Amino acid sequence: MQLQTHPLFHHLRQIRRRVRTLVAGALIAGASVAANAADLRIGLSADVTSMDPHFLNIAPNNNVGWHVFDALTHVDENTRLIPGLATAWKALNPTTWEFTLRRGVKFHDGSDFTAEDVLFSIERAAKLPNGQYAGFVQRLTGKTAVDAHTLRLNTATPYAMVPYDLNSIFIVSKKAAANAATEDFNSGKAMIGTGPFKFVRFARGDRVELARNERYWASGDNKAAVWDKVIFRIMPTDPARLAALLSGDVDMMEQIPTADLARIRGNAKFQTAQKISWRTLFFHLDQSRDRAPFLTDRAGKPLEKNPFKDARVRLAISKAINRQAIADRVMEGGATPASNLVSPPVFGHVAALKPEAFDLAGAKKLLADAGYPNGFSMTLHAPNNRYVNDEQIAQAVAQMLARAGIQAKVEALPISAYLPKARSGDFSFAMLGWGSYSGDLALRALVATPDKDKGYGAWNWSGYSNPKVDRLLDQAFSTVEDRRREEIAREAMQIAMRDAALIPLHHQLATWAMRRPLTYTARTDEYTFAHHVRQ
Amino acid sequence: MSVYLIRRLLQSVLVLFVMSLLVFAGVFAIGNPVDILINPQADQAEIARATAALGLDRPLWEQYWVFLEQAAQGNLGKSFAFNIPAIQLILERLPATLELATAAMLIAIVFGIPLGLWAGLKPDSIAGKAIMTGSILGFSLPTFWVGLILIMIFSAQLGWLPSSGRGPTVDVLGVPVSFLSREGLMHLAMPALNLALFKLSLIIRLTRAGTREALLQDYVKFARAKGLTDARVIGVHVLKNILIPIVTVMGLEFGSVIAFAIVTESVFAWPGMGKLLIESINVLDRPVIVAYLCIIVVLFILINLAVDLIYSLLDPRVRMADAG
């Protein structure tokens, strides 16, 4: 779930949607292309707030971070872990991990990359005031550099996620970043990494400029850049970003609005790259409280019993939703129906689970069996500026539920008002979107029984609780062998999904558009990497 | 004069205080910004730690007290999202917005007053009617739409102007400005025109109405009877008399252009303050919202003061009365 900034005023969005359709059609006719061959200009869809790689853990900041810095472990376009600054890692025993660091890697200032820099970066991430990366390193109880290129990390209890967690820790130069504050990164003084690009300039709210690192250690999926210079333009407004692409002000943009996809594809000057995103949309339904808010009978009298406690009702709702229709019509092909909490390329996805088929008669029968032959009334809560077409999706689902006899009123809120309310349990049926590197991580946050000490269930708005799932998750996180861990994660996913702990809706597709002949290796994690853009 | 200024100053401090209290309570009522800013993989302990780090776990009155204490020392807090002082963040964006707003006002005044005069002097001519029709369009077309149409025509179809962003800047007395280079002017042209359109129409209508009224006044007839040239009658006597309402409205409008150029800045990806405000509201970045509104209040106060001073220049009967 990344910080997607959208203009505040909803009515403006409505006007814009209409205008955009008109403008895109007219614009394409006269699009021109002009650019220096070795420069690449990219329109970003969300604001980059800081260069400090250990401050705010949001996608736009990380996106820039991945150009200037590397981490010990990287992920490929399918979100699978691959070597980064570490060439290999293994668990010596369940609580000790050994990382072998890449040799011959130089920082942008020419100094050598060693284990000292890694130790410094971990330390900085753990201690930075207001930093949001401490959670990825707090389980490390011991850190030792065996030699300049070997690192040992200890955890108090067996913990399988160390290599995954270190994917979030950017390695900065100890020499350049010692005592550096956020301002020193923004100014470029401490912005010394090992990544494929050197930092040039950050103009807040406007652009980030980078230059190629000629000495990048490229290997395998970690490609070196073909561009001398890259300019990221910050353009959160969809029509502005689209207009910039069509008029040749940028060479490439991320996040094409679904309504404009067909037009871009129909224009010979441009092409798109698309891939299933890790972002999955689903509905939480309150199944822990005996009486949940907004649930009434058709006459408006609050229900004595919470119908969502009955698995048949949850399944009925799932059957009443025509996922394919939403993916085709509301999302205009920009989504694919979901059966899991993680999308197909992601670790722990269960291919055996199929999206619940649309079955109106079956849904009505299940509702009648559960004692609701006349259905009931509820309010469906959704954000209106976070996910692609979020409010329209909610409207479509409400109408589908109405056909099964459940009267659903839609209430859509801006994300800044929505999340705090959802967290404090003000909703009983609420939309949420999620992106995870693995199925067990998603389950831990979304369906595990809330437990502060273990960090389970931080986003479990449903209040679903199944000791069996919790036990499997405990087991997964202490299993250092990946294949075994994936089996356990899949088992847990299967149990939770069969219980209809949540109602999965769809996985979004991530789309980039670029002028021909540029090509891009589309990524499931939605990052826009200039070094993966080819000519 | 000095009593007048002191009273103005005291009023401003009161306005600032009330405004900051309202914004503080309002943002507090919406919820915890950490929910939006934090990485979703974060567990409960991390959320609690992030909340405490920003001081958001304390009761509202305590948070507000801390804010007042710091504000008294000139520190309006650090942005939650940017991790740098909110004031610095806003002042960094101020030149871009000021440049845009000034360019828009210049366009509005330079074209608006002559066009309005023309329409007022020759209300029944074709040109006069065309100007008035045009001004109705300028009033009623939404800024957003006009902006997109401008982009469509001038960047996509004709390829004359860049579609968005600000041109290269050079520092003049430490302030980065972009209007000194050709490329900068080209970037500035469309957003400034887009922002100017509404004000332009407003000035045209004000000037026209004022002119028509003034032409019927005795002093104009008298000036004509004295044998003064048309140029002098209109350029000096009429113009000077109709300027007072125009200056008032323009003063207020200038403030609102600076404070709320949000739509234009969004359409043209202009890196100004409006864009910053919208993004800060989206993530409940309270220090930035409060600091932004404080600066805007100060700006309005200064502009109103300037308007009062210009009055006294235009009309010697107006005085900065110490008593009144």
| 3 state DSSP class of B267 | helix
Give residue for tokens 């990344």. Answer: A2
- Chain B 202-261, CB below 8 Å of chain A: which residues? none
Q: What is the pLDDT of residue A5?
A: 36
CA dihedral (A263, A265, A270, A272) positive or negative: positive
Across the interface, whether the CB atoms of B283 and A5 are under 8 A apart is answered yes
Q: How close A71 gets to chain B, by Cα (Å)?
A: 18
Report B:158-187 residues touching A (Cβ under 8 A). Answer: 158-159, 162-166
Measure in Å the smallest separation between the Cα of B203 and chain A Cα atoms.
26
Longest CA span, chain A: 73
Asked if the C-beta of A300 comes within 8 angstroms of chain B's C-beta atoms, the answer is no
| pLDDT value of position B306 | 82
Q: Is A423 on the interface with B (CB under 8 A)?
A: yes
Percent over 90 (pLDDT), chain B: 8
Question: What integer pLDDT is reported at residue A271 of this predicted model?
Answer: 94
Q: Is A159 on the interface with B (CB under 8 A)?
A: no
pLDDT at B1: 63
If one counts every other C-beta atom within 10 angstroms of the C-beta of residue B305, the result is 17
Cα-only R_g, chain B: 24
Cis? peptide before B40, omega within 30° of 0: no
The Cα-based distances of A459 to A134, A267, A382, B42 in angstroms read 19, 42, 15, 9
pLDDT level of residue B320 (50, 70, 90 thresholds): low
Alpha helices in chain B (DSSP H): 2-30, 34-37, 44-53, 60-72, 86-121, 126-140, 143-150, 182-215, 218-225, 230-232, 239-259, 262-267, 273-282, 286-314
Q: Which residue of A has its CA nearest to B187?
A: A249
Q: Output b/e per residue, A145-172; b: 16+ Cβ within 10 A.
A: beeebebebbbeeebbbbbbbbbbbbbb
Q: What angle do CA A259, A263, A268 make, to 5 degrees?
A: 155
pLDDT confidence of residue A521: 94
pLDDT of B317 > 80? The answer is no
- At B174 the pLDDT is 76
Name the residue with tokens 């005085």: B319
Output the pLDDT for position A472.
Answer: 96
B271: CB partners within 8 A, 6+ apart: A203, A204, A205, A206, A234, B93, B96, B165, B166, B265
Residue of chain B minimizing CA distance to A9 = B278
Cβ of A32 within 8 Å of Cβ of B165? The answer is no
What is Dmax (Cα atoms) for chain B? 86
Residue-wise burial string across A293-310, b where 16 or more C-beta atoms lie within 10 A, e elsewhere = bbbeeeeeeebeebbbbb
Band (pLDDT 50/70/90 cuts) for residue B302 is: confident
pLDDT at A169: 96
The string of pLDDT tens digits covering residues B158-210 is 888 888 888 888 888 778 888 888 888 889 999 999 999 999 999 999 999 88
Is 80 exceeded by the pLDDT of residue B5?
no
Concatenating the DSSP letter of every residue in B209-247 gives: HHHHHHHTSHHHHHHHHTT--HHHIIIIIIHHHHHHHHH
- What does the pLDDT read at residue B81? 86
| Crossing angle of helices B182-215 and B126-140, rounded to 10° | 120
CA distance to partner chain A, nearest, from residue B214 (Å) = 41
* Contact flag B152-A27 (C-beta cutoff 8 Å): yes
Residue range B60-83: average pLDDT?
86
What does the alpha-carbon distance between residue A175 and residue A173 come to, in Å, rounded to a whole number? 5
- A445 with B39: CB under 8 angstroms? no
Cβ neighbours of A182 in B, within 8 Å:
83-84
pLDDT digits (tens, 9 = 90+) for A25-74: 444 444 434 444 589 999 999 889 899 999 988 889 999 999 999 999 99
**How many interface pairs between A and B have CB atoms less than 8 angstroms apart?**
199
> Which two structure tokens, joined as six digits, stand for A243?
């207009």
Cα B207 to Cα A33, B17, B152, B199, B211, distances in angstroms: 44, 38, 32, 12, 6
Q: In chain A, which stretches have pLDDT less than 50?
A: 1-13, 15-16, 18, 21-36
The pLDDT assigned to A250 comes to: 93
For residue B164, what are the CA distances in angstroms to A403, B141, B160? 46, 20, 12
Mark yes or no for CB contact B163/A243 under 8 Å: yes
DSSP A120-180: HHHHHHHH-TT-S-GGGTTTEEEEEEEETTEEEEEESS--TTHHHHGGG-PPPPHHHHTT-
CA–CA distance, B129 with B133 (Å, rounded to integer)? 6
How far is the alpha carbon of A80 from chain B, nearest alpha carbon, in Å? 17
* Interface mutation target, options B82, B186, B265, B286, chain A, most CBs of A under 10 Å: B82
pLDDT score recorded for residue B59: 87
Tell me, yes or no, if A41 comes closer than 8 A to chain B by beta carbon. Answer: no
From the list A212, A239, A244, the residue with the least C-alpha distance to A228 is: A212
Is B42 in the A-facing interface, judged by CB distances under 8 Å?
A: yes
- What SS3 class is residue B120? helix
Mean pLDDT: which of A269-273, A384-388, B292-296, B301-305 is highest?
A: A269-273
**A513 touches A246 (CB < 8 A):** no
The answer to whether the Cβ–Cβ distance between A134 and B46 falls below 8 Å is yes
* Partner-chain contact A5 B159, CB within 8 Å: no
How many angstroms away from the CA of B285 is the closest CA of chain A?
Answer: 10
A-contacting residues of B 108-127, CB under 8 Å?
none
